[in-house]
Amino acid sequence: MKEILALAFFLLAHLGFGNQVALSQATFYQGKTVTVILGGPPGGTADLRTKAVPSLLRKHIPGNPLIVTEYMEAGGGRQAANHIYTRSQPDGLAIGSMGPALIANGVLGAIGVQYDLGKLIYLGSPNSATQYLFLTHKEAGVANLEKLRSTPGIRIGAQSVGHPIYITGRIFAYLLELKDPKFVTGYSGPEVDMALTRREIDARVNVAETIIKRSPEWIEKDLVHFHAGIEIPRGEKHPRFAHLPELENLVKGTTERKLLQMFRGFNPASQNFFLPPGTPKDRVQILREAMRKTFTDAEFPKQYEKLTGEEVLPLMPEAVEKAIRELPREPAVVELFNKLAGADPLPSR
């Protein structure tokens, strides 16, 4: 009888202790502030994708902490990723938010990268499908691919050397075989649109949904010409642009085909949310579960599509990790990608 009572007291004590631990974990975030550090400027596509998440994420984190956004746009987002990796306290109160360049810069060993992709802790992405489009202003006088290819010195706008939009524009220019294109940088995302409207540049690349959301008059008033697209993943065309040529149909040889495979591999997660290495496992679990609940919340698709114009197609943490593991890393492919990501003239084909 004594042994049974002793066992009962032992179990009660440990169950009570376990409940206290669970309660402590659940209430850690109560009264706290979580800072989302965004690798980009206010008002851009990344900002819209990021803004769609916090209100519902807060709802699903036990304790309902305040969530604020801090912008670090230097280095095409590298400043933000480096800050999360090297300077943020791994306490679950700092979350990074960065687009496809997070993975691209990490794999390619871009200058200034201080983080290890394999050590970051991923929370997922709200969207895993997109279509990039190459467009020109109507007044540039290049209404079709033939004219585009035969016109030298097309001015292509972007944010900065190494920015995803810059790299994507260079890939388009390379595979479309444009003649001596000029890349004009130093803008924010919305400023590239204004530069196109003011005719400071002739062309740009952007996400189909962003164009529809941010610049619907371009389509309604027939102010631009759309020339080609890159689907991510393959076959995920936006219905409004389904008629455009797919860039993959223009590749020559295995290296170029793997170049596009690598590009798609960098872009499975439209907006990566991530934590610094060393974040306690219980807080990782809390935040991952909250992010899953956010992505599957009935309110989230409405909120996300209202802000971004994109459909919600979430990518969970395990899928992000798998995409990173499976990226092509052959030296010839990496070398070509780095040439396209840099500032030197485009390589010949």
Domain ranges of the chain: 31-128+269-315, 130-266
Q: What is the mean pLDDT of residues 317-331?
A: 88
Q: Distance from first CA to last CA of the chain, Å, rounded?
A: 85
DSSP 74: G
Is pLDDT at 249 greater than 50 in this prediction?
yes
Q: In whole angstroms, what is the distance from residue 238 CA to residue 130 CA?
A: 8
- Say if residue 154's pLDDT is above 80: yes
Q: For residues 339 and 347, is the Cβ–Cβ distance under 8 A?
A: yes
DSSP code per residue over 304-339: HHHHHSPPPB-B-HHHHHHHHHT----HHHHHHHHH
**Res 101: pLDDT:** 86
Structure tokens at 294: 């956010």
pLDDT over 80 at 23, yes or no: no
Whether residue 1 has pLDDT greater than 90: no
Task: Tell me if 39 sits within 8 A of 101, measured CB to CB.
Answer: yes
Beta carbons of 230 and 131 less than 8 angstroms apart:
yes
Pairing type for strands 121-124 and 66-71 reads unpaired
User: Rounded to two decimals, what is the model's pTM?
Assistant: 0.72
What class has domain 31-128+269-315? Answer: alpha beta
Contact call for residues 325 and 146 (beta carbons, < 8 A): no
SS percent in the chain: helix, strand, coil, step 5: 50, 15, 35
pLDDT, residue 25, reads 54
User: What is the bridge-based pairing of β-strands 272-275 and 203-207?
Assistant: unpaired
CATH, domain 130-266, list 3.30.559.10, 3.40.190.10, 3.90.550.10, 3.30.420.40: 3.40.190.10
